[in-house]
Amino acid sequence: MHSPSRKDFVSLTFTGSGNYNSKQWRRQSCWRKWKQLSRLQRNLILFTVALMLVCGIATYPAVTEHFRGLTVVVKEDEGHVLKPVIPEVLPEPPSAKPKRAPHKRGPHGPQNRLQKKGTGSDIQVEENPIQDAKKADKEEGEKPLVKRGALIEADQATEGGTAKEAENKVDVPAVEQKDHSHEPEFDRLEAVRDAFRHAWKGYKEFAWGQDELRPISKSYGEWFGLGLTLIDALDTMWILNLREEFEEAKTWVSTELSFNKNVDVNLFESTIRILGGLLSTYHLTGDTLFLDKAKDIGTRLMPAFNTPSKIPYSDVNIGKGTAHPPRWTSDSTVAEVTSIQLEFRELSRLTQDTRYRAAVDEVMQKVHKLEGKQDGLVPMFINTNSGQFTHLGVFTLGARADSYYEYLLKQWIQGGQKETELLDDYLQALEGVKKNLLKKSSPNSLTFVGELSHGQFSPKMDHLVCFLPGTLALGAHHGLPADHMELAKQLMETCYQMYAQMETGLSPEIVHFNMHEGSIRDVDVKLADRHNLLRPETVESLFYLYRFTKDRKYRDWGWEILQNFNKYTKVSTGGYTSINNVRDPEYPSPRDKMESFFLGETLKYFYLLFSDDPELLSLDKYVFNTEAHPLPIWPSAE
Ligand code: DMJ
């Protein structure tokens, strides 16, 4: 050990005599003290300063992105509504320890570990920020103004509500959350029926016969003016054995529903929700009322195919019999024109009228031959005049392309596995996915599907992509390679983590995966992407994965998700609502909209996931359309 030299006592604390406020004194004193330091000490100080500078530069983009969020506008995927961001949704720095201020917003700590929430997961739990935050609540004894797990009161701030409004909210009495974990399947099925009844209560009271419930304002929203939620929910009520509700809805269909209306409807949405819903209800009930209505709407949608290329327009006026593309383009969306086939093909089979099938088969044949694909992956737009793909070079399995891939497989299944072109396109596309879009995240090596734009990979994944594990598993069940099932399981884990790693346990609309080594967490969510629209894709895939593997962890994951929908999206006076911020369990910021697919799809898939009866819509007899409406697999003779 060396003996302390005089220099060792030089300190950088400036507490000398004299006028230490004088700048000159301070400068001279500093310089003198600097000179008195040993070379080692000076080098150490210089090294530390340099290190701090490098760290500062490295974190600059993250910090600026964080603050840019203050002025960003949220673009809804539907309707492109612009809204101001609520400033207080800004996250805390990832390393900050949770402090319980009355209106704290944002995450409760780093999300850098995989969350184990289901009993079957083989991943180690190392940290659970939601639990941590709850513990912090207790320790610091402060009472949050809005209790987590409370039902949303209808007079709480709604869509686009400001932070100010949030602060003015009254204390909402917590509704006791029943703990159903490890409960028998019977109770879980009952919980799904309860959720449906609650959703239906709101719809019935405030939006009966209208398209969508706005549960917070106790009103409704119109899209097509055709009772969309009611029709989308018909077969769900039948499957959940809610006969009283079903009968009321059936009476409305028979007495009130008319398609003879001067309204523009979107071809894809009305096909998958209305035509699909009516066909499936006909199959389940055998009641020809629904087949007649299906034929009526199917026929009214046919003018969409009167285009120079036979690639249909996006919009049809079902009263006038005219069709047109959107105002700003003559393009249609690829997913939209290639995800109407199951329904129109089935309509032809049932009515013996070949026109419906001929129209949609022609679209598939044209798309099959088109230039502009990359390894079987399709661009997102197609022109209704030229019949060619447009906006070439951009590839995704999310919005605008997703169900193209789903319907390749499902048409092949529907038609008795004879249409080999469809299967070839599906298999080729999957190879394209593996080659171009499949990557692993850091630090936990989650397998995810990103996007490609003119050769540039982006680690962005829409929640919509979570249909893929289910579709892959379905293909494997019908004899496609076993590695499809392996990939399905990996992607299923990823989709679950998109829920489990959020503070509300609900997935955002879009995530970005980290890929660089040394990342502290796998998933990042941009401010504009933090909403949850009650979408079904993950629950849908959980249903397929459970049916085929019987691994209980998939049920447990689904159970957690259902409980979180109940905690954060249930509105006390009836209905469930989309929310703006899945990262804020104290104020998820209700949007005041219950999408029809919550009843048509999400709750139906929950029920099927928890049901022990494999004959309840056997996957050897039925194929689900992209809106969860089951249609029969055709007998092999057809
Ligand atoms: C539904 O209308 C359908 O599942 C569609 O394929 C995708 N979007 C919604 C649900 O997220």
pLDDT in tens, 408-441: 999 999 999 999 999 999 999 999 999 999 999 9
457 forms beta bridges with 452
pLDDT in tens, 268-285: 999 999 999 999 999 999
Region 42-49 average pLDDT: 79
Task: Report how far ligand 1's centroid is from the alpha carbon of 537 (Å).
Answer: 8
Can you give the C-alpha Rg of the chain in angstroms?
28
Task: Report how far ligand 1's centroid is from the alpha carbon of 58 (Å).
Answer: 40
Pocket test for ligand 1, best of 77, 464, 544 (most atoms within 8 A of CB): 464
Pocket test for ligand 1, best of 601, 603, 624 (most atoms within 8 A of CB): 601
Q: Tokens 């969020």 appear where?
A: 69
pLDDT in tens, 542-567: 999 999 999 999 999 999 999 999 99
Pocket test for ligand 1, best of 271, 339, 627 (most atoms within 8 A of CB): 627
Task: Give residues (CB < 6 A) around ligand 1.
Answer: 403, 464, 535-536, 597, 601, 626-627
538 contacts: CB under 8 Å, gap ≥ 6: 463, 466, 495, 496, 498, 499, 507, 561
Whether 206 and 251 have beta carbons less than 8 Å apart is answered as no
* Atom number of ligand 1 nearest to Cα 269: 2
Alpha carbon nearest to ligand 1 atom 10, residue:
535
Does 148 or 209 have the greater pLDDT score?
209
pLDDT in tens, 168-191: 332 222 334 455 555 678 899 999
CB-CB neighbours of 170 under 10 Å: 10
Task: Report how far ligand 1's centroid is from the alpha carbon of 266 (Å).
Answer: 13
pLDDT of residue 526: 98
Task: Report how far ligand 1's centroid is from the alpha carbon of 560 (Å).
Answer: 22
pLDDT of residue 57: 57
Known catalytic residues? 269, 402, 509, 537
What CA–CA distance (Å, rounded) separates 404 from 624? 14
* Atom number of ligand 1 nearest to Cα 463: 11
Closest CA to 620 of 547, 539, 542: 547
pLDDT band at 152 (very low <50, low <70, confident <90, very high): confident
What CA–CA distance (Å, rounded) separates 360 from 348? 11
pLDDT in tens, 478-488: 999 999 999 99
Percent with pLDDT over 70 in the chain: 74
Q: What is the pTM of this model?
A: 0.77
Contacts of range 82-86, beta carbons closer than 8 Å, 24 or more positions apart: 83/159, 83/160, 84/160, 84/162, 85/527, 85/528, 86/161, 86/162, 86/163, 86/166, 86/580, 86/581, 86/589
Task: Report how far ligand 1's centroid is from the alpha carbon of 469 (Å).
Answer: 15
Alpha helices by DSSP H, 372-440: 402-414, 420-436
Calculate the dihedral angle through the C-alpha atoms of 344, 345, 346, 349, rounding to the nearest 10 degrees.
120
pLDDT of residue 279: 99
636 pLDDT above the threshold of 90 = no
Alpha carbon nearest to ligand 1 atom 11, residue:
535
* Atom number of ligand 1 nearest to Cα 628: 4
pLDDT of residue 282: 99
* Atom number of ligand 1 nearest to Cα 540: 4
268 contacts: CB under 8 Å, gap ≥ 6: 314, 333, 335, 336, 337, 339, 340
Does 112 or 195 have the greater pLDDT score?
195
pLDDT in tens, 196-229: 999 999 999 999 999 999 999 999 999 999 999 9
Q: CB-hemisphere CA count at 13 Å for 19?
A: 5
Whether 457 and 450 have beta carbons less than 8 Å apart is answered as yes
452 forms beta bridges with 395, 457
pLDDT of residue 30: 55
Region 377-389 average pLDDT: 98
pLDDT in tens, 345-376: 999 999 999 999 999 999 999 999 999 999 99
602 pLDDT above the threshold of 90 = yes
Q: Which residues are annotated as a binding site for Ca(2+)?
A: 626
Q: Which residues are annotated as a binding site?
A: 626
Alpha carbon nearest to ligand 1 atom 1, residue:
627
Region 20-37 average pLDDT: 56
